[in-house]
Amino acid sequence: MSFSEKQEALVKEAWEIMKEDVTALSLYFFTQVLEIAPAAKGLFSFLKDEDEIPQDNPKLKSHAVKVFKMTCEAAIQLREKGEVVVSGSTLKYLGSVHLQKGIVDAHFAVVKEGVLRTVEKGVGEKWSEEMKGAWSEAYDQLAAAILAEMNKEA
Ligand code: HEM
Ligand code: ISQ
């Protein structure tokens, strides 16, 4: 399925709105992921020794932002090139980080659900099935690129 200009625009539009409130949304993102999979807490260096999710941790925020920004970039590439292209060195890094943390296929579905819930919350009344579809597709393709690299490195 090809990625349309409309879909790219929906992903970008959401991120533009979300940027305004990125600290709170980063927290929400982690909260959702840990609600679905509590064990994920032990995987993140900045969470594992905490009793609760830190409310104002720059690392937490920067990690969350990376996932959203990379999904946006994936949407742009999908529309422009029909596939997600992550630069070789970045992809290698992503592959090795996640491999080392023991991340598997099923974890990606958990993070995807977290991403979708966070976009839904972030955009409020602008949320739609079409926007959900566009984010899902961009995330899935990005996840597939990371997983393929992980399988290559394993
Ligand atoms: C680290 C992106 C999926 C768990 C990272 C980093 C990036 C990233 C960029 C490195 C951050 C840095 O060192 O600056 C992504 C993207 C994903 C994805 C774009 C999906 C498309 C997942 C999944 C899990 C996961 C499914 C499973 C829970 C982690 C962990 C780290 C990490 C544990 C290390 C965090 C730390 O520094 O302690 N990810 N990730 N990631 N990711 Fe992901
Ligand atoms: C996966 N990788 C990096 C950062 C993340 C933030 C929240 C949830 C999952 C993540």
ipTM higher than threshold 0.90? yes
Which of the listed residues 11, 45, 67 should we mutate to test ligand 1's pocket, taking the one with most ligand atoms within 8 A of CB? 67
Task: Return the amino acid letter for 63.
Answer: H
The CATH number assigned to the domain holding 11 equals 1.10.490.10
Ligand 2: does its nearest atom lie under 6 Å from the Cβ of 15?
Answer: no
Confidence of residue 2 (pLDDT cuts 50, 70, 90): confident
Q: Report d(CA 82, CA 8) in Å as an integer.
A: 12
The count of domains in the chain is 1
Tens of pLDDT, residues 57-98:
999 999 999 999 999 999 999 999 999 999 989 999 999 999
Beta carbons of 93 and 117 less than 8 angstroms apart: no
Task: Return the amino acid letter for 141.
Answer: Q
Tens of pLDDT, residues 121-131:
999 999 999 99
Residue 92 neighbours by CB under 8 Å, 6+ apart: 149, 153
Which of the listed residues 61, 66, 84 should we mutate to test ligand 1's pocket, taking the one with most ligand atoms within 8 A of CB? 66
Confidence of residue 25 (pLDDT cuts 50, 70, 90): very high
Residue range 107-115: mean pLDDT, rounded? 97
- What share of the chain has pLDDT > 90, as a percent? 95
The predicted structure's pLDDT at residue 1: 62
pLDDT at 140 > cutoff 70: yes
Element (H, E) at 31: helix 22-36
Sign of CA dihedral 83, 89, 90, 94: positive
Domain that holds residue 25: 5-153
Q: Report d(CA 5, CA 9) in Å as an integer.
A: 6
Q: Provide the 10 A C-beta neighbour count for residue 113.
A: 15
